[in-house]
Chain A
């Protein structure tokens, strides 16, 4: 027994990396590699979890069906891109502008920072619930507030025409602070010299912003933006709680549609192929992210 103990500690001394990383690598492999393998396998099969027959191989039929026959899929794909583009654009513009304002000297920066954390960490189901209440077409406070400036009333998330922007507003409320905090951190590390020479050369504040601040901040902002894009593509909680993809299919993004196909209709094969498509989309953005982090941009 003692001998075994010594042999073990000698093994750890010789191979620290495999031994230390073993628990997490095994856990990741079990928890994550199994589902990925299973999804890939199922994506080329047809199988309902509710049926007694076993999966049968259909090749790329699921993918053909999605792109060629399934209007609901194409709608979902478009909505995913639309929601992601709208939400990230809003967050980028608002987040960076806010950071520039907050970068001025004032007291109480800590307090502002604390306030900004709240939307990001609050439980998404609670957030969705409050926004549903605020968006209520007849009693909601949002119609009252926009009414004060002579707009509305709107039916917000119950109107198919504006449900996606209305949801993008919620996501923007939740995540603009992240862009702001990241940009603020970036601003704090900017060198002072370029500004000094620009001042000597008589540059205006606007020129300095566009020619110095923005180019220097670009890598930081790009990483923040891509992180948001990745998560927007996968947004689930807010959409599912507030609209369940409705009215009709007007806010059914790919993630929500896949959820319905897999866990409501139990069509596991088809849901798996939709997942492969969604993951390909996310992976595309992730690869951009890795490229940016390596400073290739």
Chain B
């Protein structure tokens, strides 16, 4: 019972593994079911009781890419996610550095409020403005709305990473004659690089997954993957194989990226409040 930290030398109870498997199956099951369904034929997908053992087919994937401009949707998602992530880093990194180094938590709290407001609150005014400016269904409009999520994320998570950069090194560079800007560029940025990569990946994931903003701002030309899948849903309700194949294609890149930054995911999801 003294293994409070879980690092004790207690012998591992074999029943622990049985318990673990039982507890973890529910968390894996829906994603596994999505993947399995994407490999089934329509007949197998509509069988009841459900089919568990079957000969897998890639037909659904072929169909998704042949019947729909799925590559265009993927490209749209990439452009918007990379655009908003890049812009958020460009605008947010200097800000996060200054807030961390000069301890301006007031600015940080103001930005936190921005994260708390419901997304629709931003969406309605921007929708009206973009409609008037004839900017609906443009990359610019999508990137700007996704920036609403990405910028507070970059700022808050990066404040934590910049705080981890040893102040002594910055001081030393200042004494050596570095300007504030040079210290930021040559000392802080390289030292915070793992954090920047993690934050960038997180911002990318958030944009890639975004539904609400893209639902309204994206039109036919700029339709992103989540919206594409949602629109399949409306008129192909029962083609589960095709739908789950599309869902798998969307989700897989995100799951792989998440594994790269797993140490920082909790930090990102709680805006740096928790290191997890």
**Is A121 a contact of B205 with CB atoms below 8 Å?**
yes
Q: Which residue of A lies closest to B10 (CB)?
A: A105
**If the complex has contacts A21-B95, A35-B125, are A115 and B269 also in contact, measured as CB distance less than 8 A?**
no
Within the complex, the shortest CB–CB distance from A76 to chain B, in Å, comes to: 13
Considering only residues 95-145 of chain A, those with a C-beta below 8 Å from chain B are: 98, 101-107, 109, 112-127, 129-134, 138-139, 141, 144
Question: B residues bordering A, Cβ < 8 Å?
Answer: 1-10, 12-13, 16-17, 19-20, 23-24, 26-28, 30-31, 33-34, 37, 45-50, 90-92, 94-99, 102, 104, 107, 109-111, 113-114, 116-128, 131, 144, 147-148, 151-152, 155, 179-181, 184, 205, 208-209, 211-212, 216, 225-226, 229-230, 233, 240, 243-244, 247-248, 250-251, 254-255, 257-259, 262, 265-266, 269-270, 273-276
A133 CB, nearest partner CB in chain B, Å: 5
Binding site for B on A (CB under 8 A): 9, 12-13, 16-17, 19-25, 27-28, 31-32, 34-36, 38-39, 49, 98, 101-107, 109, 112-127, 129-134, 138-139, 141, 144, 173, 176-178, 181-182, 184-185, 187-188, 190, 192, 195-196, 199, 205, 208, 213, 220, 223-224, 227, 230, 233-234, 236-237, 240-241, 255, 258-259, 262-263, 268, 271-272, 275, 278-279, 282-283, 286, 290, 293
- Residues B6 and A23 in contact, CB atoms below 8 Å apart: no
Q: With a 10 A CB-CB cut-off, give which of A123, A224, A255 has the most chain B CB atoms.
A: A123
Known: A28-B114, A275-B118. A134 touches B209 (CB 8 A): no
Could you say which residues of chain B place their CB within 8 Å of the CB of A190? 4-5
**Whole-angstrom distance between the Cβ of A229 and the nearest chain B Cβ:** 11
Report how far A16 CA is from B240 CA in the complex, Å: 56
B119:A106 contact, CB within 8 angstroms? no
A-B contact pairs, 13 of them (CB 8 A): A16-B180, A23-B91, A27-B151, A117-B262, A121-B254, A126-B34, A139-B45, A144-B50, A178-B269, A227-B270, A236-B119, A263-B124, A268-B124
Residue of chain A at shortest CB distance from B228: A125
Residues of A within 8 A of B37 (CB): 130, 133
- Whose C-beta in chain B lies nearest to the C-beta of A204? B1
Assess whether B205 is in contact with A293, with CB atoms less than 8 Å apart: no
Inter-subunit contact B118/A234 (CB<8 Å): yes
Say which residue of B3, B24, B33, B180 sits within 8 Å of A134 (CB atoms).
B33
B259 and A129 form a contact (CB under 8 A): no
Contacts of A25 in B (CB 8 A): 95, 107
Contacts of B92 in A (CB 8 A): 23-24
Neighbour of A31 across the interface among B31, B47, B148, CB < 8 A? B148
B44, chain A: closest CB distance, angstroms: 11
- Chain A neighbourhood of B248, CB < 8 A: 126
Please, which residue of chain A has its CB at the minimum distance from the CB of B3?
A105
Give Cα distance in the complex from A50 to B270, angstroms.
38
Contact B251 A126 (CB under 8 A): yes
Known contacts being A120-B269, A195-B4, is A106 close to B124, with CB within 8 Å? no
Q: Is the CB of A241 within 8 A of B6?
A: no
Find chain B residues with CB under 8 A from A236 CB: 119-120, 211-212
